[in-house]
Amino acid sequence: MHGVGADAPWTERFVRVNGITLHIAEAGPTDAPLVLLLHGFPDHFVSWRFQLLGLAGHYRVVAPDLRGYNLSDKPPSGYDVATLATDIRELIYTLGQREAAIVGHDWGGVIAWVVGIREPEVVRKLAILNAPHPALLTRAWKHPSQLRRSAYITFFQLRGIAERAIEHDGYALLWRTLRAADRGRAWLTDDDIQRNIDAISRPGALSAALEYYRQLPHALAYVSPMRVIDAPSLLLWGELDPYLAPWMADELEPWAHDLQVKRFSTLGHWPHLQAPESIYGMLQAFL
C-alpha cells in the first residue's frame, strides 16, 4: 500500500502493537538505525512527510498514526501517557529493534518525553518539537500567560459538546484554526488542511484525539517520581507558537542531563512544516 498519491515514496502497512493495530509509513533501509516520527494534534503521519523522506537516506524511518488517529485503531481506552508510551516501546520491538531515536511534535513530543522517562532502555536519542516536558505541566496550568493559551484544553473536556462544535459545518472550526496558522499559504495548503480533516473525521478519530487532552489531569501520576532523561536530547522550539509559551522551553536541564535547546524567533507551532529544510538539517546533524 502506498501513501499520499500513487507514487508516494514510502510504504504503508499495519502492525499489531500493545493489543491494537497501528498504521505506519516507513522509508529507508531496513538494516539502518531506526528513527520514529510521532505526530501531534490534529495531524497524522503525513505531517512528517518532509522529514520522513529526508532522513530515509540514512535511517530506517517509521511514522505511525498514533493510537486513535487516521487509520490506526480507535479503542475506547488507552489514551493515558503511560499506555501511549508503551505503544511506542512495543512498536520498536515489533519492528525488530531494541531501541530507536524518537522525534516527536506536539502530542507526539509529549509521548516522546514520557518514553524517555518511563522506557529509557529503548531510547537512543530524543528530539522534541514544541512539546512541553511533563515536569512543566503543573506550573503551566498556574501561569497566566499559558492559561490563556490553553483555554482550548478546557473546551476539549466537554465530552460530546466539543465533538459537535468541531464537526459542525464540515469541521469549519478546525479548518479556520489551521488556516490561521498560515494565512498566506506559504507552507500549509488547502489540500494539506483537507487531508488532516479527512483523517480526523474517520469514525471515532475525533473523540480519540480529544481523549489525549481529557487524560491530561492525570498525566503526572504516570511520570512521578520524575526520572531524569540521560539520552542525548534536542528541543526545537518555535517561539511564535500561539498554544505554548516560550518559557516552556526554559530550565529543563534538571530533567534532561544531555539537552540542547534551539529556538526559532520566526517559527510557530509547526516548525517541521514551516521550515522543513532547516529542521531536517538539524535533525540529521543531531541524529
Ramachandran region of residue 235, left (φ > 0), alpha (ψ -120 to 50) or beta? beta
Tell me the C-alpha distance between 98 and 25, whole Å: 19
pLDDT given at position 40: 98
Q: Is the pLDDT of residue 2 over 50?
A: no
User: Strands of 60-64's sheet, edge to edge?
Assistant: 11-17, 20-27, 60-64, 34-38, 100-105, 123-129, 233-238, 259-264
Task: Give the pLDDT mean for 75-85.
Answer: 96
Residue 6 pLDDT exceeds 60: no
The per-residue pLDDT for range 192-222, each reduced to its tens digit, is: 999 999 999 999 999 999 999 999 888 877 8
Name residue, grid cell 490561521.
180
pTM comes to 0.95
pLDDT digits (tens, 9 = 90+) for 120-163: 999 999 999 999 998 887 677 677 778 788 888 889 999 999 99
- Span 23-52, pLDDT tens digits: 999 999 999 999 999 999 999 999 999 999
Residue 141 has what pLDDT?
Answer: 67
Each domain of the chain, given as residue ranges in start order, spans 11-286
| Amino acid type, 51 | Q
Higher pLDDT, 37 or 226: 37
Specify the pLDDT at position 1.
Answer: 34
**% the chain with pLDDT above 70:** 95
pLDDT of residue 7: 61
Whole-angstrom Cα distance, residue 177 to residue 164? Answer: 16
**Among 26-40, 60-74, 80-94, 216-230, where is mean pLDDT lowest?**
216-230
Mean pLDDT, residues 4-13 = 75
Q: Which fold has domain 11-286?
A: Rossmann fold (3.40.50)
pLDDT in tens, 98-112: 999 999 999 999 999
DSSP of 238-262: ETT-SSS-GGGGSS-TTTBSSEEEE
Catalytic residues: 106, 213, 269
